Amino acid sequence: MNDGEILAVQGLNVSYGESKVLFNAGLRVKPGQVVTCVGRNGAGKTTLLKTIAGFIKPTSGSIIFNGTNLVGLMSYDIARMGLKYIPQDKKVFSDLTVRENFELGSYATKDYNWDQVTDHFPKLKSLMDRKAGYLSGGERQMLIIGRAILGAPRVLLIDEPTEGLAPSIVAHLRSAFKELSKKSALVIVEQNLPLVCAISDKIYALKEGHIVAEFADRDSIQARVCEQYL
Amino acid sequence: MKNALRWWWDIFLAFSLLALLRVVSPLPFAIEIIIFSIYTMGCNFLLGRVGFISFGQPAYLAVGAYGTAFYLYYFGQNPYIGILLGILSGVAVTALIGPFFVRLRSDYFALVNLALAVIVYYLMEKVLANITHGDNGLWFLTNMSSTPVLDLTRPKEFFIFAFLVAMAIWAFYKYLDDSVFGACCLATKINEDKLKFLGYSNFDIRYLAFIIANTTTALAGSLYAVYLGFVSPEITSPARCADPVVVTILGGVGTLYGPIVGAIAYTGMKDLISGFIANWELFIGLLLVFIMLAGEKGIWSTLGPFLQKALSRRGILPRVQDEGGKGR
């Protein structure tokens, strides 16, 4: 792990039973960076994020976060250490209100400063007493991201955050990600190339479980270059 | 302000339901319902909040009852100490077996608990017959000494004590429902993976909920023991394993009033119908099926919203938002 890196994944191999889905994958993230993983469906992007977050045990490899190897740790311990995973499905605790959803996030992290969330997503202020099951897709995504940023995580792993959302919400999330990256490093799996190119400091392209390309400077990050991996 | 009003309204309603019992029904019936309500509150919390269906509640009832009975039969006379020991027995047993049980999926959890009830039944009936006196049970009604303030050997004062305990337990569960822990329990039922994303251990939450719920059941067992002055293995009979689950579903799963309403309906039906019909179990079974089909959410979940709307319309209660209210 090089100096200044908050997350370093090296030689990661993951299998689902007999079927191997990640081959020697690796990525490096510095504080404040926005790192994006692109690739076709089935390329192994979600598996990579889930493995880093501790939901899938790798067969080999290391995941060094803030100097600690995460392999073998429980997912909730990893979350407590400040590495949070935001899944793709936008499922919330539907029977709980928005406020209760935030309380869950706050209690775990002892961070009750909800202003940091409502600063990013002001709309949530007026929805506090609504059950999360009644929120729109965009509002749910705001809630999930807002809940995750409580406790100032060092790294946020975000899986397909704009999938199925209206363009106006995507634009809002785009600026929110830029703001969030000032406090946390973001590792995002995303297929929306204009968004990817607008926010990314580094891009990893995955194909059939292999990391096949890495674009590490702003000049090389262009939609038409990334397009070939989708 | 609205929340405070709602809180007092909830307390008032629960208090009234139980107090009304004493006015309209004979004392033994009222006591039976109060203890049955406490018994069901634990099952309701497990099923409604954590998503665990348990057919082994009589086992925990027996743990509390025998914890109390052993003390009052062999060692002492003070029923308050007996109840305290019954509660401690509940805590000890659930803390011991909890780590193995709460790892199971809900269906296996139900079956393992059922097995536990059968094991406890045979332990009390056969294996530990030297201590438990087997089928004959332990009689200690005359062993118990009178106690100051509320004398638990006198049924009228026992009713007041059981009533206060029921109210305290009810308020405790209301507090839990409104707390972060209550939200965690519901969250682990809805989606356990999501809870891990936030840094919670599902095991810890379920374990604590398991101890709380089954200690409540053990407390009900202690109250039965003191009230009857007698405990036999019949208390954990496999034939009774479904009772608390049926009452929970009948009252309304996960609702705070469900256990009280369910206990009144179930015990009331049994008491009333068995007076007229010889094969009353069959009739009650059919009636339960009908009630479940007519209002599958249970009595309180079906009727409660109507009552709340009616009271809101009259200005007695603040209006409830469908989207934001908890509907309890």
pLDDT tens for each residue of B68-111: 999 999 999 999 999 999 999 999 999 999 999 999 987 899 99
Terminal C-alpha separation, chain B: 18
CB pairs under 8 A between A and B: 75
Q: Which residue of A has its CA nearest to B178?
A: A100
The answer, yes or no, to whether residue B133 has pLDDT greater than 90, is yes
User: What's the CA dihedral at A159, A112, A178, A184 to 10 degrees?
Assistant: -70
Which chain A residues are Cβ-neighbours of B196 within 8 angstroms? 55, 74-76, 79
CATH of domain A7-227: 3.40.50.300
Q: What is the pLDDT of residues B147-184, one digit of tens each?
A: 888 999 999 999 999 999 999 999 999 999 888 899 99
Residue B47 lies in a domain: yes
Query: Which of A50, A95, A149 has the most B C-beta neighbours within 10 Å, making it the best mutation to test the interface with B?
Result: A95
The answer, yes or no, to whether residue B325 has pLDDT greater than 70, is no
* Beta carbons of A76 and B191 less than 8 Å apart: no
Residue B318 lies in a domain: no
Q: Say which CATH number the domain at B225 has.
A: 1.10.3470
Model ipTM value:
0.71
Residue B119 lies in a domain: yes
* Beta carbons of B198 and A134 less than 8 Å apart: no
Residue B321 lies in a domain: no
The answer, yes or no, to whether residue B324 has pLDDT greater than 70, is no
Residue B324 lies in a domain: no
Which chain A residues are Cβ-neighbours of B324 within 8 angstroms? 97, 129-131
Residue B188 lies in a domain: yes
* Beta carbons of B198 and A79 less than 8 Å apart: yes
Which chain A residues are Cβ-neighbours of B199 within 8 angstroms? 76-77, 79-80, 84, 108-109, 151
Which chain B residues are Cβ-neighbours of A109 within 8 angstroms? 199
SS3 B257: coil
Domains contained in chain B, number:
1
Please give the pLDDT value at position B2: 61
Percentage of the residues of chain A whose pLDDT score is greater than 70: 97
Please give the pLDDT value at position B319: 60
Residue B163 lies in a domain: yes
Please give the pLDDT value at position B1: 57
Please give the pLDDT value at position B328: 45
Q: Return mean pLDDT, chain A.
A: 89
Structural domain including B186 reads: 2-313
> What would the DSSP string read from start to end of B138-206?
EE-TTTPPP-SSS-TTSHHHHHHHHHHHHHHHHHHHHHHHHSHHHHHHHHHHH-HHHHHHTT--HHHHH
Q: Are A127 and A98 in contact (CB under 8 A)?
A: yes
* Beta carbons of A148 and B197 less than 8 Å apart: yes
Residue B69 lies in a domain: yes
- Find the mean pLDDT for residues B12-39: 86
How far lies A95's CA from each of A76, A91, A129, B184, B304, in Å? 22, 11, 11, 11, 18
The answer, yes or no, to whether residue B140 has pLDDT greater than 60, is yes
Please give the pLDDT value at position B3: 65
Confidence of residue B296 (pLDDT cuts 50, 70, 90): low
Confidence of residue A224 (pLDDT cuts 50, 70, 90): low
Q: How many helices (H) and strands (E) does chain B have?
A: 14, 2
Q: What is the pLDDT of residues A125-181, one digit of tens each?
A: 999 999 999 999 889 989 999 988 888 899 999 999 888 888 888 888 888 888 888
pTM greater than 0.90: no
